[in-house]
Each structure stands twice: as structure tokens, then as C-alpha cells.
Chains A and B, each alone.
Chain A
């Protein structure tokens, strides 16, 4: 009897400690955020993730672009990240252990092609023989090739080179390039230096090539700490609401975070669209757990495009992309 009681109590103790361990908070959470203008800067600046996760150490790592983010994910260096649709399509096709949990932003003229005013470029045709820069594998590289494709212009008729946004601004100021499709805040510097806005990502979205950034979580983290993924989404949603409700204060935060003038920050903010979390559950965006939205279509067409470019070995099934997008966290937060 005594023996049985002992066994019972120890096993109970074990079960308790096990359940406590699974409810345990992570020691630290690492957020990789893209160097662009969206509400993640607000969330970061106001410490909203920290408020949701008291006692957890929150690390923020600035990542230059989608290619670097993919490397950080493949190297298991972050818990949460952000990816544009082309890097997302690449990551999902290559079986990276990530899940898309929310819309970070829809891209309008915060990403755009700037052309040198003195280079006299009036239409895409005029780019022939010129040097154009874009970060390869990113949303803007994808849009550049699609824009050329739609007008039947051979990309080989010009020199398209791979540069990161900051390097583009540098190469522009030296006069090494005549056009570049990239994003704020580096874009602003170029526009002030003999640059013209030639084409925006918003125009391409209207033509049927929407580009966006999606928030992702590492599957390992989501499995271990599902409630912390929910907390993260809640914090980012609060950041988006703050952005939508306090444009003036938000501009001040962006200006401060990116060391810009208030005027620049206000312009950049208008070039990107924040989607309230409840709206993200509609068909135009992620959709619901039962019926996934148009993001799936965008991912399929992006992957198909990349496969044609020989950047991807195959196009995964619709199901793969539907599984990648997990609306349950948004649903829990928007209840």
C-alpha cells in the first residue's frame, strides 16, 4: 500500500513537473525584423512584445533583406521573422520549418523603382543598355522581372545587378547605376539625389502582382510555446492599431527608429499599408483556418515565376502553402 502510494505520488510529481515545463516561458525570444517601414518598428519602440511577455528577454535583430532572413531562418538564429512573398515561396518550397502567422504590411510606393532624372528614362524600353539594381530574391527583383516580362522586354538587354538597399544608395551617389527597384528608407536618399519615382509596387499590385511581407514563426518555437506565438501576434496587432490610430506619433517613432526627418517618415508611412488584424482574416489576405485567402494564390504564382527563372526546383502544391499559413493565432487574438 505504502509502495503504491509512493509510486502514485512520484508519478504525479513527474506529471506535474512535465506539464509545468511545457507551460514554461521561453528564456528569450529573438525577433528578426526587416529593415523597412512597417508597424514592427512601432511594436519594437513601444516595447509591446515585452509587455506581453514579462520576464522574457526580447532580442531584436535588424535584417537587411529576404535573402539574409532566409539564411537566419535556415541557421536557426531567430524565433520570429518577416519575409516578402518571393523569399516566403523559396523558404516553403525548400521545406524551411516556418509558419506564416500574420500580415506585416502590404507594399505600395514604400517600394519603388527610381530612375536617374538625367538618364532620361520615360518607359521600360528605355532601360535597355542601362544598369539596374535590385536585391535578388526580394519582392522588388520579382516585380522588376515581371514588369519587363509583361512588356516583352528581354532582361538580358540590360545589366541587372544584385545590390542590397544600402549599397544601392551608395552606388547611386557614385553614378554607377541608372535605375533601381528597392525600398525605404534607402529609397528616400536616392529620390533626393537626381532620382525620379518611375514605378511603384502599388502599381504592380493593381496589375495583379501584389507584394507583401508576412510574419513567420519557427515551427520549433510554435510547437514548444504556442501561447507565446499568440502573445507575439497580439503585440504586433497592437502595433498595427497604434499605427492606424496615431499617425502623427507613429511618424515620430519611425523618424526616431530610422534616423529620418519627420517629413520623410510621414511620406514613407503612406507608402505602405497596414492591415488591421481582424481584416487579415478576410479572403483578400490570409483568410481563416477553414478557408485560406488570396495569399495562397500569390505564393503559388510567385513560386511558379521563380521556377521559370530556375531559382526553384519545383512548385509545391496548393496544400503546402495552405498549411504554411496558420490563421489560428490571428483568430484567437481577434476574438
Chain B
């Protein structure tokens, strides 16, 4: 479907008088026809969940009913879980995630561009990144706790380090995929290295970097619970971990749903950002 939409946008401008309107209509049709399937999937999952629990097929300790999870959602939202309300837990986690993500972008994108452009730069940093990238986060975390303590710093450092490689690798890829002719053309009109980065590499690499950012955010998300296990007193990940200790499975499942939804919203925000910053990718990135 995406390919179809893409080829439409590329062809239409030269063929029709009012291209954008028709393309948009075409794309919207595509999305709508897909979206009702997604809605059906969600409804089906909810129905299956409801059926399994209401028929008593599942041990409520492992799979509480949707009603029990909804109750725990209301209770934690209004009264809180161990000293913080749901919003406060979400806020604490979001702060950690976004801070780490922002830092990962701040370090990863420039580093990736430099590594993509300069071969010596690549050789200097590549071994470090390739070495720590596959390390299990919990193993890394033990060391970070030893170095940085049990406070906020070690948590942020773990999330930052989990987000970093994805964005660097995507940026390197993006930069090296740029058609060298663009670079030569820019050089021929007198572009210096900095001009090249700003005018050719960044816009050309933008879409792939954005994909890298989305992957990186995803990685940070998956490590959240691990990062909040040690000595946290708030955060969605901590709430899930703590509730599991007391076998409060309704709170665990509620926390996971909240995590999933906020994750999707964050990803959507990134996509919208990309569309505003790089309008030429708008249709592709749907």
C-alpha cells in the first residue's frame, strides 16, 4: 500500500491539475480502509480477554478481568499507587525517557553524521559502539550503579546508552546513502563542509535519521522497567515491578497498557514532527 501511495505522489504532480487534493484523498481512502481492520483487531482482543476471564478459563492471578484492570486504573489515577498518582508515575517515567532520548539525539546525530562523512571518525568510534550495543541492559546497569550510584543519574545513563546506538547507526546509514552527485553538485557551487552538512547531508538524511530516532525511542522504552527496578520510588516501570512483587496483576497489566499507549503516542508525535520538518516525506511516512 505504501509503495502505491508513494508512486502516486511521485507521478501525479506532472499529470493532474490539482494534484495534492487528489493524492490526499487517495491516501485517506487507503488509511481508512486499513484502519477498520485495526479497530477490529483491538475489539477482538478485548472480546477474547473478556471471554476468557468471564468464563473462568484463566486464573485471575495471572489474567485479571478487564473490569479489574479498569478498576485499578481508576484507583491509581485518583488515589495513587504507593504515594504517587498515575499521572505522577507517567510524568516521572516520561521525564526519564525524554531526557535520555533528547541526549541520545544530541550526541548520536552529530556523531553519526561525522562517522558517515569521515572514514577515520568511523574507525575511531565504531569499535566502542559495536562492542556495547549487544550488551544486555541489566549487565550494563550493574556497572552503571557502581559508577554512578542508585540515584537518577544511573537510570538516565542506562536509558541514554540504550537509545544511542540505534540513532548513530541509522544516521551513518542515512549519510552514506546520499547520492554523491548531490555532494559534488554542491561543491561545484562552492559549498564548504559545514554548508554540505546543513544543506545536503541533514535534509537528505532526514527521513532515515527520523526512522533511527523512532527505533531509538523504542529501545529506550523497552529498557524502562529495568532502569526503574533499582531504588526507584516512582515511575510506571517501578509501579509494574513493585506491583508484581505483591502479585497485584491488575496493576501490572494496567501499567503495561499505559506504557503501550504512551509509547504509541510518543511515536506518533515523532512522526508528526517529521512531517512538519520534512514535508516532502509526508505521504511516505504515513
Contact = CB atoms under 8 A, between A and B. Distances in A.
A101 interface: no
B231 A133 contact: yes
A170 B230 CA distance: 12
B61 A95 contact: yes
Interface in A157-180: 159-163, 167, 170-171, 174, 176-177
B231 A167 contact: yes
Contacts of B242: 136, 162
Nearest to A173: B146
Interface stretch (B9-17, B243-251, B254-262): B243-251
Given A167-B145, A167-B231, A310-B82, A90 B247 contact: yes
A260 interface: no
A171 B233 contact: no
Contacts of B246: 90, 137, 306, 311-312
A174 B149 contact: yes
Contacts of A90: 246-247
A163 B61 contact: no
Contacts of A306: 246
A170 B82 CA distance: 25
A70 B249 CA distance: 13
Nearest to B238: A162
A57 B122 CA distance: 53
Interface residues of A, number: 29
Interface of A: 67, 70-71, 74, 90-91, 94-96, 133, 136-137, 156, 159-163, 167, 170-171, 174, 176-177, 306, 310-313
B232 interface: yes
A170 B148 CA distance: 11
A171 B83 CA distance: 23
Contacts of B232: 161-162
A90 B61 CA distance: 12
B74 interface: no
A178 B225 CA distance: 26
Contacts of A67: 244-245
B247 A163 contact: no
A161 B233 contact: yes
B244 A163 contact: no
B146 A70 contact: no
A311 B171 CA distance: 46
A165 to B, nearest CB: 13
Closest 6 CB pairs of A and B: A67-B245, A94-B247, A161-B231, A137-B245, A311-B246, A171-B150
